[in-house]
Structure 1
Amino acid sequence: MTQAPPAPPQPLVLLAAGGTGGHLFPAEALAAALNRRGFAVDLATDARAARYAGHFPARKLHVLPADTMRGRSPVALAKTAFALGTGFLAGLMLLRKVKPAVVVGFGGYPTVPPLFAATVLGVPSLVHEANGVMGRANRLLAPRVSAIATGFPGILDRDPVLSAKALWTGNPLRPAVLDAARIPYVPVSPDGPLNLLVFGGSQGARVMSDIVPDAIAALDPALRARVHVVQQAREEDLERVRATYARAGVVAEVAPFFQDLPVRMAAAQLVISRSGASTVAELAALGRPSLLVPLPGALDQDQAANARSLAERGGALTILQADFTPARVAQELTRLAATPQELTNMADAARSAGVLDAAERLADLVARLAGGAPIPA
C-alpha cells in the first residue's frame, strides 16, 4: 500500500510585538486569523511583554533583547544602541533558524531587531501602524520594509514613497472584542441608570482616579444616584477611589484590571478613557460613546490623532488633560444625561467608524507577501 506523501510544512509568519497591550492585541488578532488560514505563527517580543503573552496563539515565543529610548544623554543612547544591536544579532540568528515566510512588526522598539534582520536577509516584511501618527520605531523601519499597513486611512498621504507601499487595513480586533461587538447599545432613559466605564491603562489610570470620582461626587444628587461606575485604578489608588464613591453613595466596582474588559465596554453607556489605538478601534467596533483624554507629552501626539479621528465622526468628545478637571467632567456628564439622544447618536457615529474585518484584511496582505504577490493599490 502506497503511503500518502507527507503534508508540506506550514509556512511560518514571525510576529514582532512588545511593550504594551496596544502592540500585543492586534498581533494576537492577526495570529488567530493566520492560524485559521493554515499558517504557523511565532511571536518575537521583549522580556517585559513576554509576561503578558501567556495566551498568545503562537507556536513558539522568542524573547529578544531590546530597549526603548529613555533619553538623549550619551549614556541612555549607548544603552539603547547596545540593546538594539544585541537584539539585531539575536534576530539574525532567529530568522536563520526558523526561516519565516514573512516577518510582521506592530511598533515599539522591540520590533526593530527582528524587522531590521528581515530586511537585511531579504525576508518579506511588513509593519502595522496602529495609530493616527506613525511612531518612531515604525518610522525607522518604514523605508526598508516590503509593505506598510495602517490602522487609520491616509496617514502617509504626504509621503509618496511610503504611501506607494501602504495599505489601510484598520486595527485588528481580538475575538473577545468581535464577540462583544454583537451586543447592541442600550440607550439611556430619562430616569434610568447611566452605566459608566472608566479606564486608562498603566499610563493613564492615575489621572482617572484623581478626577472622575470627584466629578461624580459633585453631580446633582438625583443624577448621582443614577450613575453606576466600573473603574480601573492602580493598586495604590484603589482604597481612595472606593472611599470617594462610598461617601458619595455611588454604586461602583473598582479594580486594577478587568479580564473581561470588552464585555464591560459593551455594557457601558459612556466610556471615559485614554485614546490608545486599540481603545479607539474597540470603541468604534462596539459603537460606544466616549469621552477621550489623550495622553499628554507624547513626542508623536499619537493619542491626540487617534481621538480626533473618532471625534470628527461625532463618536467621541475629546478633553485635553489640562482641561480634564472634576468640574469639566461633571459638566459634560450633566449635559449628556439631560440629552440622552446625543449619547445614542454618538454610539451610532462611533460604530460607523468600526472596521470589524481588519484582522482578515491584514492577513490577506501577509498572505500576498508570503506568496510573492504585489501589494494591492
Structure 2
Amino acid sequence: MEVTKLVLLAAGGTGGHLFPAEALAGALTARGVSVDLATDARAARYAGHFPARELHVLPADTVRGRSPVALARTGLALATGLVSSLALLRRLKPAVVVGFGGYPTVPPLLAASLLGVPCLIHEANGVMGRANRMLARRVSAIATGFPGLVKGDPALAPKAVWTGNPLRPAVIAAAAAPYDPPVPGGALHLLVFGGSQGARVMSDVVPQAVERLGADLRARLVVTQQAREEDLERVTATYARLGVQAHVAAFFDDLPARMARAHLVIARSGAGTVAELAAMGRPSILVPLPHALDQDQAANARTLADVGAALVLRQVEFDPDRLALELNTFAGEPASLTRMADKARSQSVLDAAGRLADLVQHLSAGETVETFRGSKA
C-alpha cells in the first residue's frame, strides 16, 4: 500500500518514548514516507539522529503533584500545547498522527482527534500508562508492545493490534551478534544502566557490591556503568580504588553495541530495555522502578522473568550483599547465563517497526483496524 503523505510522530519526556518513535520513523522513511516529529524540550536532546523532515517542539508538562498549583500549571501547559498542536496540524495536514505515550503526546493526539485526523497510540509497556489511557478512547487504533494488553476492555480491544516494540536500527544491528558466554577465569563484562535518565540506586549499590567480591573475581570484571553527573566522580573513584577496569559515563550514545558485548546486564526494566534485551538475547538482573503509579516496569520485567531470561529484584532487595551473592553465583555458573540468553532471545520481536509501519500506512489510506486485521489474516 503506497503512501507518500506526511506522518506526524509525537513522542516526548524520555528516550524510552522517543526511541521507538525513531525506529518507526526509520521504517517509514525507508518506504518513502515523509515524517515529522512533535516533541517537548526535554526529549529534544535525544533527537539528534531522529530521521525526521522537521522537528516541532511543543509546550507540554507532566503531572508532578496533586496540589492545585501543580495541577493548574500542568493544565495550562497542556492547554497551550493543544492550541499550538491545532495550529501545527492545520498547517502540516498530516495523514496520520502517532503517539508514543507520555504527557507531551497528549496535545498533538487530542488535536488530531478534534480535527478528524486518523491517529493511533503505541503503548510499549505491560500496562497502559496514564497519558495513553486518557487518549485510548479517542484514537483510531492502539498498537501494543505486549500481547493481550487490553483484552479485558470491550471498548478498547476491538481497536488494539499487537505489534511489539519497535527497535532502532542500532539495536537490530547489535542483535545480529550471538551471545559469547564468559569462560572460567576469563573476563566478565558487566553493563549497568538505569534508563535514559539514569538511576541513583545503581551508583549506590553496584560499586559496593563489587567491593564485596573476592579479589580474583574483581580482577576479571570489566564494568561499563551509566551514572548521573553528580555520581560520576564517586563511582569512578570506587572502581579505581578496587582496581576494577571500568568505564563510567552519564550517557552512552552506543548503548546497543555495549549491550551486545555484555555477559550480564543490570538495569531498570523500561519497555525499551526489555525489548532490546530480548532482541539481543542477553541475560539480566532487572530492578523495576519502585514508585511508578502503574507499576509498568514490574509488568515488563515479568515477561522475561517468567521464561527464565532475567532475575528480577525489587529495589528493597537490591542491596550490595544480595547483588554480590548473585554475581558470585553467575560467575561460578557461566552456563546459567547462556541459558538465560537463549530464553531472552526467544521473546524477541525484531520486525515490530515494520508491523507498526504497516498499520500506520493502512490508516493513512483511510482504512480501519478491522480491515487491517483482515489483511493480515
Output one character per residue of 1:253-284: Cα deviation in whole Å (capped at 9) or x when no partner.
11111111111000000000111111111111
What is the alpha-carbon distance in structure 2 between the residues aligned to residue 98 and residue 76 of structure 1? 32
What is the alpha-carbon distance in structure 1 between the residues aligned to residue 141 and residue 194 of structure 2? 31
Q: 1:68 aligns with which of 46, 62, 68?
A: 62
User: Match of 2:159?
Assistant: 165
User: Match of 1:334?
Assistant: 328
User: Match of 2:298?
Assistant: 304
Within 5 Å, give how 1:163-242 maps onto structure 2: 163-201=157-195, 203-242=197-236
User: Match of 1:289?
Assistant: 283
User: Match of 2:95?
Assistant: 101
What is the alpha-carbon distance in structure 1 between the residues aligned to residue 112 and residue 225 of structure 2? 42
- Residue 126 of structure 1 aligns to a residue whose secondary structure is strand
Q: Does 1:252 align with 2:258?
A: no
Q: Does 1:351 align with 2:345?
A: yes
Q: 1:50 aligns with which of 44, 52, 68?
A: 44
Q: CA deviation at 1:9?
A: 9.4
What is the alpha-carbon distance in structure 1 between the residues aligned to residue 302 and residue 63 of structure 2? 27
Q: Is the 8 A contact 2:7 2:33 kept in 1?
A: yes
What is the alpha-carbon distance in structure 2 between the residues aligned to residue 254 and residue 59 of structure 1? 34
Output one character per residue of 1:46-93: Cα deviation in whole Å (capped at 9) or x when no partner.
122123212211111111111101111111111111111111111111
Output one character per residue of 1:130-163: Cα deviation in whole Å (capped at 9) or x when no partner.
1111000000000010000001111111112111
User: Match of 1:24?
Assistant: 18
What is the alpha-carbon distance in structure 2 between the residues aligned to residue 256 and residue 68 of structure 1? 24
Q: Structure 1 counterpart of 2:200, which letter?
A: R
Q: Is the 8 A contact 1:180 1:263 kept in 2?
A: yes
Q: CA deviation at 1:249?
A: 1.7
What is the alpha-carbon distance in structure 1 between the residues aligned to residue 45 and residue 255 of structure 2? 19
Q: Is the 8 A contact 1:133 1:155 kept in 2?
A: yes
What is the alpha-carbon distance in structure 2 between the residues aligned to residue 9 and residue 153 of structure 1? 27
- Residue 275 of structure 2 aligns to a residue whose secondary structure is helix
RMSD: 1.3
| Larger displacement relative to structure 2 (27-36 or 187-196) | 187-196
Q: Is the 8 A contact 1:204 1:274 kept in 2?
A: no
Q: CA deviation at 1:202?
A: 5.0
Q: CA deviation at 1:355?
A: 0.7
User: Match of 1:11?
Assistant: 5
- Residue 196 of structure 1 aligns to a residue whose secondary structure is strand
What is the alpha-carbon distance in structure 2 between the residues aligned to residue 51 and residue 171 of structure 1? 22
Q: 1:264 aligns with which of 251, 258, 262?
A: 258
Q: Is the 8 A contact 2:213 2:328 kept in 1?
A: yes
What is the alpha-carbon distance in structure 1 between the residues aligned to residue 350 and residue 261 of structure 2? 19
Q: Does 1:138 align with 2:106?
A: no
TM-score, normalised by the number of residues in structure 1: 0.96
TM-score, normalised by the number of residues in structure 2: 0.96
Q: Structure 1 counterpart of 2:154, which letter?
A: P
User: Match of 2:319?
Assistant: 325
| Identical-pair percentage | 71
Q: Is the 8 A contact 1:44 1:64 kept in 2?
A: yes
- Residue 296 of structure 1 aligns to a residue whose secondary structure is coil
Q: Is the 8 A contact 2:191 2:223 kept in 1?
A: yes
Q: Is the 8 A contact 1:291 1:317 kept in 2?
A: yes
Q: Is the 8 A contact 2:3 2:364 kept in 1?
A: no
What is the alpha-carbon distance in structure 1 between the residues aligned to residue 273 and residue 141 of structure 2? 25
- Residue 228 of structure 1 aligns to a residue whose secondary structure is strand
Q: CA deviation at 1:205?
A: 2.6
| Larger displacement relative to structure 2 (222-231 or 208-217) | 222-231
Q: CA deviation at 1:338?
A: 1.2
Q: How many residues align?
A: 370
Q: Structure 1 counterpart of 2:124, which letter?
A: A
What is the alpha-carbon distance in structure 2 between the residues aligned to residue 18 and residue 213 of structure 1? 32
Q: CA deviation at 1:10?
A: 3.1
Q: 1:275 aligns with which of 266, 269, 272?
A: 269
Q: Is the 8 A contact 1:204 1:295 kept in 2?
A: no
Q: 1:315 aligns with which of 283, 288, 309?
A: 309
Q: Is the 8 A contact 2:270 2:300 kept in 1?
A: yes
Q: Structure 2 counterpart of 1:298, which letter?
A: A
User: Match of 2:362?
Assistant: 368
Distance 1:371 1:9, change over 3 A: closer
Q: Structure 2 counterpart of 1:58, which letter?
A: A
Q: Is the 8 A contact 2:209 2:320 kept in 1?
A: yes
- Residue 71 of structure 1 aligns to a residue whose secondary structure is coil
Q: CA deviation at 1:211?
A: 0.3
Q: CA deviation at 1:201?
A: 2.6
- Residue 326 of structure 2 aligns to a residue whose secondary structure is helix
- Residue 246 of structure 2 aligns to a residue whose secondary structure is strand
Q: Structure 2 counterpart of 1:242, which letter?
A: T
